[in-house]
Amino acid sequence: MITQTLLNQIFCYENGELFWKISPAKQIKIGSKAGNLKPNGYFRVGIGHKSYAIHRLIFMMHHGYMPTEIDHIDNNPSNNCIENLREANRFQNTQNAIKRKDCSSGVKGVCWKKSHKKWVVQLQVNGKRKSFGHYNDIEYAKFVADAMRYKYHKEFSKS
């Protein structure tokens, strides 16, 4: 079982990275950087016969527990500085996501409704899609989307 004590015995944390305090294998030297960058942008490291996301280990090293979800505040999964990590629930973690690549308007939470010939503002609120109106002007729709994101998503809002 991974504990804060164990992690602090085997790793040294420095600027969002972990370094080995012990040599878990012949090819790994004490003081070398722990983990490998995966294609999804997250760093992972093996402890025993199990692989762990490094951001989760860093969070536990600093806070003493491992929450179900951890949010990278700046949306960069490779930035594991403790200041960039915060506990979140599933909804909060998705609220902090960047706009989708298939977003046709270029504005998070705003899309064109062909049948109405207007911009519609929609956000997820407590896991349910909620509509905040139809607008002729995309700038006003963006203003409404930003305001509603701030109102409902609070510190997890991301434009």
CATH of residue 10's domain is 3.90.75.20
pLDDT at 26: 82
Burial (Cβ within 10 Å: 0-12, 13-18, ≥19) of residue 30:
exposed
> Alpha-carbon Rg of the chain, whole angstroms?
20
Domain membership of residue 123 as a residue range: 98-156
- Among residues 58, 88, 118, the one where a domain terminates is 88
Two structure tokens written together for 150: 């701030």
Alpha-carbon distance 100 to 109, whole Å?
9
39-57 per-position pLDDT tens digit: 999 999 999 889 999 999 9
**Does 29 reside within a domain?**
yes
Provide the residue type at 83 as one letter.
E
Alpha-carbon distance 123 to 74, whole Å?
20
48-86 per-position pLDDT tens digit: 889 999 999 999 999 999 999 999 988 899 999 999 999
Alpha-carbon distance 106 to 104, whole Å?
6
- Among residues 60, 88, 116, the one where a domain terminates is 88
**Domains held by the chain: number:** 2
**Does 93 reside within a domain?**
no
Within 10 Å of residue 154's Cβ, how many Cβ atoms? 10
> Is residue 99's pLDDT more than 80?
no
Residue 50 sits in the same domain as residue 108:
no
Query: Domain of 122: which CATH number?
Result: 3.30.730
